[in-house]
Amino acid sequence: MNGGVHMSGAMNTSKANVQTKTKDLILTSLAIGLVYVSTAIIGVEIPTLTKGGLIHLGTGMLYILAILLGARKGAIAGAVGMGMFDLFSPYIIWTPTTVITRAIMGFIVGYIACKDGKQGTSFVRNIIAMVLGGAWMIVGYYVGEALTFNNWVMPIESISGNLAQIIVGLPAALMLVEAIKKTKIMDQI
């Protein structure tokens, strides 16, 4: 009889692990899709000094998802979602830089927002997370562009476009995170 009880407990634990992994896979896949669509569909090309740039809502979506889902899912959503956009667009040369920069950005935002069990519930911590994640984005794209084009001066022109991404994404994300938290929908996920 003892063996049967033990076996049943092992089955329940195994079933719970499968359900958790399935839920994580679904949430991560949805996050990737939301970041990709927010980047690909909702974007406007703008001139940034002498270079072109793209302002899109992908940065704001990455902020939202990293805060709500945490560092790991934020990193994956940023790397894969925005990486796919670059890979299938005229911006293909940016794919390696985007994958690395956005993965680290998503991780930074999710880690800070969810540190110490906060789970994205601290308004101030969320702002700090997005500012630091945005600062990393500027540094990451600067270094990536410098290495890609073997020129450490040229990337200075891109800073304004990257800063615009943060200026558009941060307040939009902050408002949406607060609204989503009020619905309590994240408690059901």
Question: What's the pLDDT score for residue 44?
Answer: 75
Rg (CA), the chain: 19
Separation between Cα atoms, residue 140 and residue 143, nearest integer Å? 5
Count of beta carbons in the 10 Å neighbourhood of residue 177? 24
Full residue range of the structural domain in which residue 68 is found = 9-187
Report the domain count for the chain. 1
Q: In this structure, what CATH number is given to the domain that contains residue 35?
A: 1.10.1760.20
Q: Is residue 3 part of a domain?
A: no
Q: Is residue 2 part of a domain?
A: no
Reported pTM: 0.88
Task: Cite the beta strand spans of the chain per DSSP E.
Answer: 43-48, 51-56
β partners of residue 46 = 53
- The string of pLDDT tens digits covering residues 5-43 is 444 555 566 777 888 899 999 999 999 999 999 999 977
- Long-range contact set of residues 4-9: C-beta below 8 Å, sequence gap at least 24: none
Q: Is residue 94 part of a domain?
A: yes
Question: What's the pLDDT score for residue 10?
Answer: 56
CB 129 within 8 A of CB 108: yes
User: At 153, is the pLDDT very low, low, confident or very high (cuts 50, 70, 90)?
Assistant: very high
Q: Is residue 28 part of a domain?
A: yes
Percent of the chain with pLDDT over 70: 89
| Average predicted confidence (pLDDT) for the chain | 90
Average pLDDT estimate for 52-63: 86
- The string of pLDDT tens digits covering residues 63-104 is 999 999 999 999 999 999 999 999 999 999 999 999 999 999
Q: Which two tokens stand for residue 120?
A: 């994205």
Q: Is residue 153 part of a domain?
A: yes
